Structure 1
Amino acid sequence: MTDVQITFDCADPAALAAFWAEALGHQVQAPPPGFESWEQALEAMGVPPERRNSASAVVDPAGTAPRLFFQRVPEPKQVKNRVHLDVRAAPGLVGDARMAALEAAAERLVSLGATRLRRHEPAAPLAAGHIVMADPEGNEFCLD
């Protein structure tokens, strides 16, 4: 089986990793063995201070979800994402209960720095309804 990692180009890897770790209930990847912090590890590796926020990663504590990798790039986001994450905030729910769960998740994520973009109402027979959001750097994702 092939493993997969999802990579985000961004301006502030540490901040975006912290947002997604909190949003998904994951954790920022621990520093290498023998180091108590990434700052300590990067200092020992000789990484200059201005390059220490060049990358960060988020991992699922259960080890089942893909690793999210955040890399600093010089250019700002230009266009709509062609690929996006769907955050499963209401699995198994339908109708009003589903939309209420999505609204609660949207409020929590807005408190973490996300932006609510639009709500799509349920439409029979296939569309269950969802909320489109953007993370703190404008990357779109859906609450599904």
Structure 2
Amino acid sequence: MVSVKQIQVAFDCASPERVGRFWCEVLGYVAPAPPEGFASWDDFNRTLPPEQRDSWFACSDPSGVGPRLYFQRVPEGKVAKNRLHLDVRVGTGLVGAERLATLEAECARLIPLGAKRVRLLPADEENESCLVMQDIEGNEFCLG
């Protein structure tokens, strides 16, 4: 039996670095150091042919717990609802008004970064409340 050691979550997007840096801010992730011999990623990118610049971006959880995120440029834009999305769990263990206040506070932090609030999914018999949001390119994610 094969055991999975790690996973990477890949995002198709128009501007990999822009979307990647957004998610760094949301999750507290960090970009790797630039390749050896380069003071910055901008310096490295200037050495690439124009069509390869900003074609990808990667970041990771500095604690090593969460998956690596990889952002790749694709020519087509987003046209439908995501089939997969991230749940950013900021209200774990909280219920009712305390959970809603925590979700709203995180939403307020993310809006200035370019996120968009879509709708609140209120608690029901099976699930606690969550906020459906979109990142800076319209990809859905939930605050839960």
Tell me, yes or no, whether TM beats 0.5.
yes
Q: Does 1:21 pair with 2:24?
A: yes
Match of 1:9 among 7, 12, 24: 12
Give TM-score, length-normalised by structure 2: 0.92
Residues in 1 aligned to 2:55 and 2:115: alpha-carbon distance in whole angstroms: 22
The one-character-per-residue Cα deviations of 1:69-114 (angstroms, maximum 9, x if unpaired) are 0111111001100110000111111111001100111111111100
Residues in 2 aligned to 1:138 and 1:132: alpha-carbon distance in whole angstroms: 11
How many residue pairs get matched? Answer: 141
Residues in 1 aligned to 2:105 and 2:36: alpha-carbon distance in whole angstroms: 38
1:54, distance to aligned residue in structure 2 (A): 0.5
- Paired residue type of 2:18: A
RMSD: 1.3
The one-character-per-residue Cα deviations of 1:4-53 (angstroms, maximum 9, x if unpaired) are 1000000011110110000111112221234321122344xx41244211
Residue aligning to 1:143 = 143
SS of alignment partner, residue 110 of structure 1: helix
Paired residues of 2:24 and 2:59 also in contact (CA < 8 A): yes
Paired residues of 2:115 and 2:135 also in contact (CA < 8 A): yes
List gaps (5 residues or longer) in structure 1: none
Moved over 6 A (4+): none
- Paired residue type of 1:135: D
Residues in 2 aligned to 1:68 and 1:110: alpha-carbon distance in whole angstroms: 21
Paired residues of 1:39 and 1:52 also in contact (CA < 8 A): no
Residues in 2 aligned to 1:99 and 1:135: alpha-carbon distance in whole angstroms: 20
Residues in 2 aligned to 1:142 and 1:34: alpha-carbon distance in whole angstroms: 39
Identity of aligned residues (%): 50
